[in-house]
A and B are shown apart, each in its own frame.
Chain A
Amino acid sequence: MAIFVNENTKVIVQGLTGGQGKFHGLRNRAYGTNVVGGVTPGKGGQDVEGIPVFDSVADAVKATGADASFIAVPPKAAAAAILEAAKAGITFIVCITEGIPAQDEAKVFNTLLRDYPKVRLLGPNCPGIISPGKCNIGITAGEIAELPSAKGPNVGIVSRSGTLTYQALYELKQQGIGVSTCVGIGGDPVPGTSFVDCLAEFQKDPETHAIIMIGEIGGSAEEEAAEFIKANVTKPMSAYIAGVTAPAGKKMGHAGAIVSGGKGTAQGKMDALRAAGVQIGLNPTEAGSLMAEIVKGLK
Chain B
Amino acid sequence: MDLFEYQGKQYFAKFGIPVSAGGVAVTVDEAVKVAEASQYPVVVKAQVQVGGRGKAGGIKLANNADEVRLHAGNILGMDIKGHVVKRIWVEHASDIDEEYYASFSLDRAAKKHLLMLSAQGGVEIEEVAEKDPDAIVKLHINPVDGLSEKVARQAAVDAKIPAKALDGVAKILVQLYDCFTAGDCDLAEINPLILKPSGEVHALDAKVSLDGNAEYRHPEWAEYSATEELDDREQLAREKGLQYIGLSGTVGIIANGAGLAMSTLDVVNQVGGTAANFLDIGGGANADQMAAALEVINFDKDVKSIFINIFGGITRGEEVAKGIVEAMKRVNLRAPIVIRLDGTNAEEGREILASAGIPESKLMSKPTMLEAARAAVALANGK
Q: Are A110 and B144 within 8 A (Cβ)?
A: yes
- With contact pairs A162-B259, A285-B369 given, residues A189 and B311 touching in the complex (Cβ less than 8 Å): no
In-complex Cβ contact of A242 among B112, B144, B263, B313 (8 A): B263
Which residues in window 134-180 of A have CB below 8 A to B? Answer: 139-141, 143-144, 159-167, 170
Q: Are B213 and A75 within 8 A (Cβ)?
A: yes
* Number of B interface residues in the complex (CB < 8 A): 50
A269 to B370, CA, bound (A): 22
Q: What 0/1 readout, one digit per residue, does chain A (219-262) give for beta carbons within 8 Å of chain B? A: 11100100000000000000010111111001111111100010
- The closest CB in chain B to the CB of A266 belongs to B266
- With contact pairs A101-B184, A139-B314, A141-B344 given, residues A106 and B262 touching in the complex (Cβ less than 8 Å): no
Residues of A within 8 A of B108 (CB): 189-190, 218-221, 256
Q: Is A209 among interface residues, defined by CB-CB distance under 8 A?
A: no
Q: Are A163 and B311 within 8 A (Cβ)?
A: yes
In-complex Cβ contact of A247 among B247, B280, B370 (8 A): B247
A243 to B263, CA, bound (A): 6
Q: Tally of A-B residue pairs with Cβ under 8 A?
A: 164
Q: How far is the CB of B295 from chain A (nearest CB, A)?
A: 19
Q: What 0/1 readout, one digit per residue, does chain A (105-147) give for beta carbons within 8 Å of chain B? A: 0110111001000000000000000000000000111011000
Q: Which of B33-41, B63-71, B267-275 contacts A (4 or more CB under 8 A)?
A: B267-275
Q: Is B342 among interface residues, defined by CB-CB distance under 8 A?
A: yes
Q: Is B142 among interface residues, defined by CB-CB distance under 8 A?
A: yes
Residues of A within 8 A of B270 (CB): 282-283
- With contact pairs A216-B262, A245-B266 given, residues A250 and B245 touching in the complex (Cβ less than 8 Å): yes
Residues of A within 8 A of B73 (CB): none
Q: Is B260 among interface residues, defined by CB-CB distance under 8 A?
A: yes
- The closest CB in chain A to the CB of B181 belongs to A103
- The closest CB in chain A to the CB of B256 belongs to A163
* Number of A interface residues in the complex (CB < 8 A): 61
Residues of B within 8 A of A139 (CB): 283, 313-314
- With contact pairs A163-B256, A253-B262, A257-B262 given, residues A190 and B111 touching in the complex (Cβ less than 8 Å): yes
Q: Are A101 and B256 within 8 A (Cβ)?
A: no
- The closest CB in chain A to the CB of B145 belongs to A110
Q: Is A99 among interface residues, defined by CB-CB distance under 8 A?
A: yes
Q: Is B199 among interface residues, defined by CB-CB distance under 8 A?
A: no
Which residues in window 135-182 of B have CB below 8 A to A? Answer: 142-144, 181
Q: Is B126 among interface residues, defined by CB-CB distance under 8 A?
A: yes
Q: Are B259 and A163 within 8 A (Cβ)?
A: yes
Q: Is B347 among interface residues, defined by CB-CB distance under 8 A?
A: no
- With contact pairs A140-B313, A163-B311, A250-B245 given, residues A217 and B262 touching in the complex (Cβ less than 8 Å): yes
Residues of A within 8 A of B217 (CB): 76, 101
A146 to B255, CA, bound (A): 24
Q: How far is the CB of A73 from chain B (nearest CB, A)?
A: 14
Which residues in window 293-324 of B have CB below 8 A to A? Answer: 311, 313-314
Q: Are A284 and B369 within 8 A (Cβ)?
A: yes
Residues of A within 8 A of B17 (CB): none
Q: Is A214 among interface residues, defined by CB-CB distance under 8 A?
A: yes
Q: Is A187 among interface residues, defined by CB-CB distance under 8 A?
A: yes
Q: How far is the CB of B278 from chain A (nearest CB, A)?
A: 6
What 5 pairs across the A-B complex have the smallest Cβ distances?
A161-B259, A253-B258, A163-B257, A101-B214, A164-B259
A-side residues, CB < 8 A to B, are 27, 75-76, 99-103, 106-107, 109-111, 114, 139-141, 143-144, 159-167, 170, 187, 189-190, 214, 216-221, 224, 240, 242-247, 250-257, 261, 266, 282-285
Q: A102-B211, A144-B313, A257-B258 are in contact. List 15 more A-B contacts (CB 8 A).
A: A103-B214, A109-B111, A110-B111, A144-B343, A144-B344, A160-B259, A162-B313, A167-B342, A189-B108, A190-B108, A216-B258, A244-B266, A245-B268, A247-B247, A252-B278
